[in-house]
Homo-oligomer: A and B are copies of this chain.
Amino acid sequence: PRSRLGAPQVGLLPSGPRDHITDVAGVSLGHCTLDAGPVQTGTTVLLPQPGDLFMHKLPAGVAVINGFGKSAGLMQVQELGTLESPIALTSTFGVGTAFNALVRDAIAQVPQLARSLPTVNPLALECNDGWLNDAQALALQEAHVQHALALARQGGAGLPGLQEGSVGAGRGMSCHGLKGGVGSASRCVRWQGQGYTLGALVLANQGRPGALVVDGRRVVIAPPAGGPATERGSIIILLATDAPLDARQLTRVARRAAAGLARTGSDYGHGSGDIALAFSTALRIPQQPTAPMPAVALLHEAALDLLFQAAAEATEQAILHALFAATPVTGRDGHRRLTLREAAPELFA
């Protein structure tokens, strides 16, 4: 069976209606793409839910599959188990600027930040797009992040976030020596008569040339002319679910992204910052101690097997979608990555 974009449908669970992270209600995305000669980069902002994330946080967990990366904000999620900011994906050297943009946005939303309230924990996650993009230019500006964030806030309108491949933060990314980028997928599970959705969004920039596996089969492609032969790229994997889970359970879910990633041929290479973050939209944790804490029955731990499977399958599927959606990009010094379609047209037949 085929999924979107001609990619094979992997795994055993059914996809959601769009096979996209936005199948989880309330999740929205915005991209800002920079395409200017040697500058081939951008940012993708995921808004986990509408409304005030700082005052009403979401439970979240992190899995550091391989910590060769510069992402900001993960430590506090690991300690407190909450998400209180939109998530900006970007190029490695864009982390500082994305941090600043998210801080300024948070101040605009919550004027008492760093005054009567604490500071905010911005999440700026990154991969290195330095092969196609002139990373030294530090081209990303705060306005780009604000633009992507504004699009995410507009949410469904035109669904700009449904774009995949060489858009937003995915613009300059490479994957297994091919053109990588942004991809998404979702899976549906049932537990005790109730349906739940789990969606994945990946920024796919990982993998050695020649190691790519599509649906269990290694894809033999001609080695790229130049470019690093080792994993130096990283992948960011965001998982959203509407199942009521707490931070510890979400941490366990996030770890299963590693299973899906492995099935696409990655060994979590030394130089690859492979990070997964999972959050639930089913409950909100108030910032203020005076607000009532939610009294929610979480899913029983035994239900996690289904969500683990969903996380692994959605991650694998989202990586395939990134590769199948990618369009050609020529960047700095004439660097170019073949798309999967160019390198292995037989997969699209």
Residues of A within 8 A of B (CB): 12, 64-76, 78-81, 92-93, 95-100, 103-104, 107, 113-115, 118-119, 121-122, 128, 130, 135-136, 138, 192, 208, 211, 213, 215-218, 230-232, 246-248, 252, 255-256, 258-263, 266-271, 273, 285-286, 289, 292-305, 308-309, 311-312
Q: Give bound CA distance, A289 to B305, whole Å.
A: 12
Q: Give bound CA distance, A80 to B115, whole Å.
A: 37
Residue of B nearest to A266 (CB): B259
Q: A103-B138, A267-B259, A297-B292 are in contact. Are A70 and B122 (CB under 8 A)?
A: yes
Contact residue among B73, B136, B247, B305 (Cβ-Cβ distance under 8 Å from A269): B305
Contact between chains at A289 and B303 (CB < 8 Å) = yes
Residue of B nearest to A291 (CB): B300
Contact between chains at B113 and A136 (CB < 8 Å) = yes
Q: Give bound CA distance, A300 to B80, whole Å.
A: 11
- Given A96-B97, A268-B308, 5 additional A-B pairs, CB 8 A: A72-B72, A72-B99, A96-B103, A114-B130, A256-B267
Contact between chains at A136 and B115 (CB < 8 Å) = yes
Distance between A115 CB and nearest chain B CB, rounded to angstroms = 6
Distance between A116 CB and nearest chain B CB, rounded to angstroms = 9
Distance between A170 CB and nearest chain B CB, rounded to angstroms = 17
Q: A75-B67, A75-B71, A259-B262 are in contact. Are A128 and B118 (CB under 8 A)?
A: yes
Q: Give bound CA distance, A304 to B268, whole Å.
A: 11
Residues of B within 8 A of A300 (CB): 286, 289, 293
Residues of B within 8 A of A248 (CB): 81, 246-248
Distance between A237 CB and nearest chain B CB, rounded to angstroms = 14
Distance between A136 CB and nearest chain B CB, rounded to angstroms = 5
Residues of B within 8 A of A114 (CB): 92-93, 128, 130, 135-136
Residue of B nearest to A100 (CB): B96
Task: Select the residue from A213, A263, A267, A301 with max chain B CB neighbours within 10 A.
Answer: A267
Name 26 A/B residue pairs within 8 A (Cβ), A-sorted.
A64-B75, A65-B255, A67-B76, A69-B75, A70-B99, A72-B95, A72-B99, A76-B273, A81-B248, A96-B99, A97-B100, A103-B138, A114-B135, A115-B136, A119-B130, A256-B267, A256-B268, A258-B262, A258-B268, A267-B312, A269-B308, A271-B305, A289-B303, A293-B298, A294-B297, A295-B295
Q: A119-B93, A267-B312, A297-B293 are in contact. Are A305 and B68 (CB under 8 A)?
A: no
Q: Give bound CA distance, A161 to B47, whole Å.
A: 43
Contact between chains at B76 and A70 (CB < 8 Å) = yes
Contact between chains at A96 and B96 (CB < 8 Å) = yes
Q: A96-B100, A115-B130 are in contact. Are A302 and B230 (CB under 8 A)?
A: yes
Residues of B within 8 A of A309 (CB): 267
Task: Select the residue from A114, A122, A192, A295 with max chain B CB neighbours within 10 A.
Answer: A114
Residue of B nearest to A115 (CB): B130
Contact between chains at A232 and B118 (CB < 8 Å) = yes
